[in-house]
Amino acid sequence: MKAEQIIFAARPKGLPDSKTFKTVTVDLPELQQGEVLIKPVYYSVDPYMRGRMNDTKSYIPPFEVGQPIESGGVAAVAESMDSNFQPGDLVMLTSSRPLLPWATASIYNATHLKKIDNSVPPSYYLGILGMPGLTAYFGLLDIGKPKAGETLVISGAAGAVGIVVGQIGKIHGCRVVGIAGGTEKVKLLTDVFNFDAAIDYKGNQDMKSSVAAACPNGVDIYFDNVGGEISDGVMANMNTFGRIPLCGQIALYNSTEVPVGPRVQPIMITRSLLMQGFTIGNYASRFGEGFKALVEWVKQGKLKYTETTMEGFDKLPEAFLALFAGKNQGKLIVKV
Amino acid sequence: MKAEQIIFAARPKGLPDSKTFKTVTVDLPELQQGEVLIKPVYYSVDPYMRGRMNDTKSYIPPFEVGQPIESGGVAAVAESMDSNFQPGDLVMLTSSRPLLPWATASIYNATHLKKIDNSVPPSYYLGILGMPGLTAYFGLLDIGKPKAGETLVISGAAGAVGIVVGQIGKIHGCRVVGIAGGTEKVKLLTDVFNFDAAIDYKGNQDMKSSVAAACPNGVDIYFDNVGGEISDGVMANMNTFGRIPLCGQIALYNSTEVPVGPRVQPIMITRSLLMQGFTIGNYASRFGEGFKALVEWVKQGKLKYTETTMEGFDKLPEAFLALFAGKNQGKLIVKV
């Protein structure tokens, strides 16, 4: 049996493009006893994947040139030589990093697969109940430590993580202010997700003043997904004893030189600020706790969710690139 | 009775100079019942005072132009109209910020004074048992959280705070590496204060490699008194889950423009780093705990101490400026 794979063709400098990816056709071997053939149903594409395209040591190894790209995914069983799995079962990979190769079909030993619960839409396992939801949960609660009445500012607020952070902030009684690009996203935040205010960074020449206007009592927590000049504007408005969970720096990921900006240390001293970088793997031992809370809030209607869906296996590279153009609202999902 | 005062004459731009200070003569009123006339014995001069020369909101109000400069000090009672104080008693001011005006004599209500214990040299109350010692204690233990076997790097290591941080690090079983300016200071750190290694930043073109060489297992804790390019070199060597207590940024205090440098957020995410600014006032409710531990270690010989003394009331401005030229070893004290 043949399968198409999208492989990592060359390490990009700056923004990835069509030369970064290449589609190849491979022959799959015969299915053996205990093995399962799966076909992808949904893929997640995420900003952190840009980091894996560089050949640098990080918390997750770089992509290997010539090997398939991999990302979060939900698959369906197509053929099974294991009694625990039947054709049509929805599955994910079991691992602390359950990443599915970009391939129209692949073979796994059944021990590496787990069935998922059908009671919520399967794509939720890639978003609000998956890595983005858990990232929001632990970053905000463990580092941000929100208290009722405090002001929480979120950059990349209309992204997969940001919309969950804002809603958990509201659950904890915070005034929540989101920063996003474009009037449509800003409207989404205040009208659909009940943010108290939202700031459009596009064409904004003075983020510092915009944040000050939206946060009359200053900023107690800054959940940062973006970095760069947006963060410079927020930092100037931090209150004493403020907390800054660092989740992502999408504004900097495609930099070809070391990004330079105002040094943060002086204001961090005078205002006694805490800044902490994290990756979701740090909290692997507590995923159960986070998943339980997120499911509960979804069922109670306290957590709403949105995703942007693109269709077609061959759209995967385009979907990934769309992240850096800020084209998504909420989680960006590719339906195969 | 007349007294000389050194007043704050003008806000400096960049490095303070002789125009920043002015000596004036004032008449003191008659001593009233319940009042005490004190004359300074020792003054402390400290880098944080540069911040008070700017007219910006901070954790401690700016100096007022036309008013005496103030800094940490120990004074002796010259005349007393209160039965609790006798001429010759050594005193400090009682407050969470016991700062003595730069004046050859001043009058206080007795309720604002406290006698100090004569069993240690009085200047110790300005150094190892005073704000610098407490700053080292809380910054390292509360934010740095040292564990045996970890590597601790300290910038400004030969300063009043740095030498205490290093020794507390050794008490907790860390490998301790100091960064200081000049061969004499570097030798002091390794030979007198038992640091495991020391790096001379003067003329050093590649701090990143120097830190890597001195820290074969990477850096777990970076206690930062200095900032700027020295910190850039240390940051590149931080281990995953490293902690960075931000105590001072003396390299930046005289900047006339916003200091710019490589953004720290990307490496803070990929390595899950924590950076926290603090000022000693945050720990006011726990000063007793810190003081007790420091006294105990001094008595046990586990904490050694050094100070640089300049003599003469009129040397105060010069002593303050010497801080920024890095002329001091350990605490810089002016003996009146």
DSSP B100-169: EESBS-EEEEGGGEEE--TTS-GGGGGTTTSHHHHHHHHIIIIII---TT-EEEEESTTBTTHHHHHHHH
Chain B residues inside the 8 Å CB shell of A278: 269, 272
* CA atoms within a 13 Å half-sphere pointing along the CA-CB vector of B179: 30
> A152, A239 in Cβ contact below 8 A?
no
Give the CATH number of domain A131-281. Answer: 3.40.50.720
| Chain A touched by B256 (CB under 8 Å) | no
* Gap between the Cα atoms of B65 and B317, Å rounded: 15
Q: CB distance A266–B282 less than 8 Å?
A: no
Distance from the Cα of B323 to chain A's closest Cα (Å) equals 18
pLDDT of residue A306: 85
Q: CB distance B269–A258 less than 8 Å?
A: no
**Residue A187 phi, psi (nearest 5):** -65, -40
Strands (E), A201-330: 219-223, 238-246, 260-262, 274-277, 307-311
| Chain B touched by A66 (CB under 8 Å) | no
Q: In b/e form, how buried is each residue of A292-302, taking b as 16+ CB within 10 angstroms?
A: ebbbebbeeee
Please indicate whether the domains covering A2-127+306-335 and A131-281 agree at the CATH topology level.
Answer: no
As separate numbers, helices (DSSP H) first and strands (DSSP E) second, chain B gives 9, 17
- The β-bridge partners of B292 are none
Residue ranges in chain B modelled with pLDDT below 70? 96-97
Chain B residues inside the 8 Å CB shell of A260: 260-263
Chain A residues inside the 8 Å CB shell of B267: 277
In this prediction, residue A254 has a pLDDT band, given cuts at 50, 70 and 90, of confident
**Residue A79 phi, psi (nearest 5):** -140, 150
* Residue A261 in this model has a pLDDT that exceeds 70: yes
| Chain A touched by B276 (CB under 8 Å) | yes
Distance from the Cα of B1 to chain A's closest Cα (Å) equals 40
pLDDT of residue A144: 98
DSSP A81: S
pLDDT of residue B118: 76
* Residue A258 in this model has a pLDDT that exceeds 90: no
Among partner residues B224, B260, B269, which is closest to A262 by beta-carbon distance? B260
pLDDT of residue B97: 67
* Gap between the Cα atoms of A233 and A207, Å rounded: 5
> A169, A140 in Cβ contact below 8 A?
yes
pLDDT of residue B52: 93
Structure tokens at B253: 């205090």
Query: What is the number of CB-based contacts under 8 A between chain A and chain B?
Result: 117
Distance from the Cα of B273 to chain A's closest Cα (Å) equals 5
pLDDT of residue B67: 95
Among partner residues A58, A263, A273, which is closest to B270 by beta-carbon distance? A58
Among partner residues A249, A259, A262, which is closest to B258 by beta-carbon distance? A262
Q: Tell me the C-alpha to C-alpha distance, in Å, between residue B65 and each of A308, B11, B14, B45, B194.
A: 59, 7, 17, 18, 43
* Residue A256 in this model has a pLDDT that exceeds 90: no
Domain edges within chain A: 2-127+306-335, 131-281
In this prediction, residue A57 has a pLDDT band, given cuts at 50, 70 and 90, of confident
B93-131 confidence digits (pLDDT tens)? 987 667 999 999 999 999 999 998 877 888 999 999 988
Distance from the Cα of A157 to chain B's closest Cα (Å) equals 18
Among partner residues A227, A246, A269, which is closest to B248 by beta-carbon distance? A269
| Chain B touched by A265 (CB under 8 Å) | yes
Distance from the Cα of A136 to chain B's closest Cα (Å) equals 14
* Gap between the Cα atoms of B295 and B128, Å rounded: 9
Distance from the Cα of B271 to chain A's closest Cα (Å) equals 7
pLDDT of residue B88: 95
A278-309 confidence digits (pLDDT tens)? 999 999 899 889 999 998 998 898 999 888 99
What CATH class has B2-127+306-335? alpha beta
A172-204 confidence digits (pLDDT tens)? 999 999 999 999 999 999 999 999 999 999 989
* CA atoms within a 13 Å half-sphere pointing along the CA-CB vector of B49: 28
Chain A residues inside the 8 Å CB shell of B262: 258-260
Residues 6+ apart with CB under 8 A from B210: B199, B204, B233
User: Three-state SS for A284?
Assistant: helix
Q: CB distance B269–A248 less than 8 Å?
A: yes
* Gap between the Cα atoms of A313 and A334, Å rounded: 7
DSSP secondary structure string for all residues of B124-143: GGGTTTSHHHHHHHHIIIII
> B316, B45 in Cβ contact below 8 A?
yes
pLDDT of residue A239: 98
* Residue A231 in this model has a pLDDT that exceeds 90: yes
pLDDT of residue A42: 96
* Gap between the Cα atoms of B85 and B78, Å rounded: 10
* Gap between the Cα atoms of B129 and B127, Å rounded: 6
Return the amino acid letter for A104.
T
> B48, B76 in Cβ contact below 8 A?
no
| Chain A touched by B263 (CB under 8 Å) | yes
Distance from the Cα of A94 to chain B's closest Cα (Å) equals 23
Structure tokens at A34: 């205990």
Residues 6+ apart with CB under 8 A from B179: B153, B154, B155, B156, B157, B198, B199, B201, B207, B211, B226, B230, B234
| Beta strand pairing call for A106-109 and B219-223 | unpaired
Which is nearest to A279 in space by CA: A96, A107, A122? A96
> B331, B307 in Cβ contact below 8 A?
yes
Residue to substitute from A256, A269, A274, A275, interface B, most B β-carbons within 10 A? A269
pLDDT of residue B218: 98
pLDDT cut 70: percent of chain A above it = 99
* Gap between the Cα atoms of A314 and A323, Å rounded: 16
- pLDDT, averaged across chain A: 94
Chain B residues inside the 8 Å CB shell of A142: none
pLDDT of residue A63: 95
Q: Tell me the C-alpha to C-alpha distance, in Å, between residue A149 and each of A219, A258, B138.
A: 11, 38, 29
DSSP B62: P
H helices present in chain B, as ranges? 49-52, 131-138, 162-171, 183-187, 207-214, 228-235, 265-270, 287-299, 316-324
* CB-count burial class (<10 Å; 0-12, 13-18, 19+) for B301: exposed
Q: CB distance B277–A265 less than 8 Å?
A: yes
Return the amino acid letter for A288.
G
A120-161 confidence digits (pLDDT tens)? 888 898 999 988 999 999 999 999 999 999 999 999 999 989
